[in-house]
Structures are given as C-alpha cells and as structure tokens.
Amino acid sequence: MRFVDTSILLYAVSTDPAERPKAAVARALLEERDLALSTQVLQEFYVQATRATRPDALSGAQAAALVRSFTRFAVQGSSAGLVLAAISLAQSSQLSLWDAAIIAAAQALGCDELLTDDLNDGQVIGGVQVRNPFPGA
C-alpha cells in the first residue's frame, strides 16, 4: 500500500496553469486503489484547500465533499500511540513532528511507500520509502 501526502491531494484540485503536469499525475494517482492517508492529511487538505489566499480556493462545502470522497482509502486516525511514535521518529530522524506523524501513520497502515514531493525522493525513513511522483513535472 502507498501513503498519500497532503501535497498530492492539493495538486489534484489545483487549477494553476503552472501546476497542470502535477495535477494530471495527482489525479491519475487518486484513481488507484492501493492508497492510504491519515486524518492529519485530511485536515491539512481542508485547511490548505480553503485558505483565502489560495488563488483557486475551494469553498468549505467543496473541500468537505472531497474529504468525504478521500475516505474511500484506508485512513489512519490519530491516537496517543501515533503521537508518541511520531515524536520518537522526529527525534531519531531529525524530521519535523508533522512529517514524522505522516511516516508514523504510513507505518501503522503497513505502507511501504510515501508519495510526496516534500521529502527526499528515494529516502527510506522507518522502513517507508519516499517517492516523488512528479520527477519531471
């Protein structure tokens, strides 16, 4: 299973002409069935997609409908155990707590890949390989 970071969801809804290649890749990825995400990703998506300073901001209702649709994938909830795992990972891997929480959620779901353009492509963190799905985009 592959874990999807927030950036993938945001590119999928982007109407920015400069992001067209990434949007196409992100939309194709979201057609796959072997994806997973976390409540953190869903929350981050909602906040960023509705941000008033975003040129193509979604309404709250549009973003909420998309969040509902993303729950077709496996979703890792937050828990005290996940927070503690993220703290441990942040300390051992020198990641931000937020990035570590993404890795910890991917681990909890048994994902072997994290799809993101926010970390180093090919890097393995806690047994999860980072893969940038936009290498030429």
Q: Which residues pair with 125 in a beta bridge?
A: 128
The Cα-based distances of 57 to 50, 63, 122 in angstroms read: 5, 9, 32
Residue 106 parent element (H or E): helix 97-108
83-116 per-position pLDDT tens digit: 999 999 999 998 999 999 999 999 999 999 999 9
Query: DSSP string spanning 46-89?
Result: HHHHT-TTSTTPPPHHHHHHHHHHHTTSEEEPP-HHHHHHHHHH
pLDDT digits (tens, 9 = 90+) for 20-50: 999 999 999 999 999 999 999 999 999 999 9
Alpha-carbon distances of 58 from 10, 16, 41, 42, rounded to whole Å:
11, 13, 16, 14
User: Global pTM?
Assistant: 0.94
Please tell me the distance from the alpha carbon of residue 22 to that of residue 134, in angstroms, as a whole number: 6
The domains of the chain, with CATH numbers, are 2-131 (3.40.50.1010)
How many Å from the N-terminal Cα to the C-terminal Cα in the chain? 23
